[in-house]
């Protein structure tokens, strides 16, 4: 089976992301998770190394998953990791709009294909943005993120 690349900001990593990784392992076998810089979200909460460490701790039970960080293009990360294609999770129609644009662009400029996976219905409402807001004001995010991320966020307050 080929390696697939799952790129994202993961700032922070949450249970919806973990679901996409678990689906990808089931369908494709080997998965490289790429914590990426998103130029449209410059003011993040954690740096790339911190995000990567939280993802590693959250996927420790999945031996076919590798976690890396990249600061360039997703298509270059796909090439560097020998990924056959990119996987992305879709929560809502809003996600589809932006993901479709990125998928077409990545295929047009580098021939890299993207496969969408529907997020588990019980997790579609989860977003990193609202987790950041909750964490900033000391809200409880334990139901939204894996335990290693919850512990790291609790440390902030
Ligand atoms: O989790 P996000 O913020 O939806 O992930 C978006 C991400 C990081 C995958 C996207 O911004 C990205 O691919 N960034 C790397 C730069 C890049 O390749 N830009 C061209 C996109 S067509």
pLDDT in tens, 111-154: 999 999 999 999 999 999 999 999 999 999 999 999 999 999 99
Mean of per-residue pLDDT scores for the chain: 95
Tokens of 23: 């689906």
Is 24 among the residues known to form the active site?
no
pLDDT tens for 28-46 read 999 999 999 877 776 789 9
Write the pLDDT tens digit of every residue in 3-25. 999 999 999 999 999 999 999 99
Q: Which atom of ligand 1 is nearest to the CA of 74?
A: 18
The question of whether 128 is a catalytic residue gets the answer yes
Q: CA 102, 84, 9, 148: dihedral to nearest 10 degrees?
A: 150
Coil vs helix vs strand at 33: strand
Query: Which pLDDT value is given to residue 37?
Result: 83
Q: Which of 9, 116, 119 to mutate to test the pocket of ligand 1 (most atoms within 8 A of CB)?
A: 9
The model's confidence at residue 1, banded by pLDDT at 50, 70 and 90, is low
Ligand 1 geometric centre to CA of 81 (Å): 16
> Ligand 1 centroid to 96 CA: how many Å?
14
| pTM more than 0.85 | yes
The reply to whether 41 belongs to the active site is: yes
pLDDT above 90 (res 2):
no
| Residue 69 annotated as catalytic | no
Helix, strand, coil shares of the chain, percent, nearest 5, are 45, 20, 35
Residues touching ligand 1 (Cβ under 6 Å) are: 7-9, 36, 38, 41, 73-74, 102, 105-106
């Amino acid at each position: 089976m080929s390696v697939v690349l799952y790129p994202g900001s993961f700032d922070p990593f949450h249970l919806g992301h973990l679901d996409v990784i678990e689906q990808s392992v089931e369908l494709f076998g080997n998965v490289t998770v790429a914590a990426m810089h998103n130029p449209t979200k410059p003011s993040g909460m954690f740096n790339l190394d911190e995000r990567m460490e939280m993802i590693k701790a959250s996927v420790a039970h999945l031996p076919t998953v590798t976690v890396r960080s990249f600061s360039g293009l997703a298509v270059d990360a796909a090439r560097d990791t020998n990924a056959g294609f990119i996987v992305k999770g879709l929560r809502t129609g809003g996600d589809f709009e932006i993901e479709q644009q990125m998928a077409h662009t990545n295929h047009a400029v580098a021939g890299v294909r993207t496969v969408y996976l529907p997020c588990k219905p019980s997790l579609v409402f989860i977003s990193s943005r609202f987790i950041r807001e909750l964490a900033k004001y000391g809200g409880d995010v334990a139901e939204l993120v894996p335990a290693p991320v919850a512990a790291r966020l609790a440390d902030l307050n």
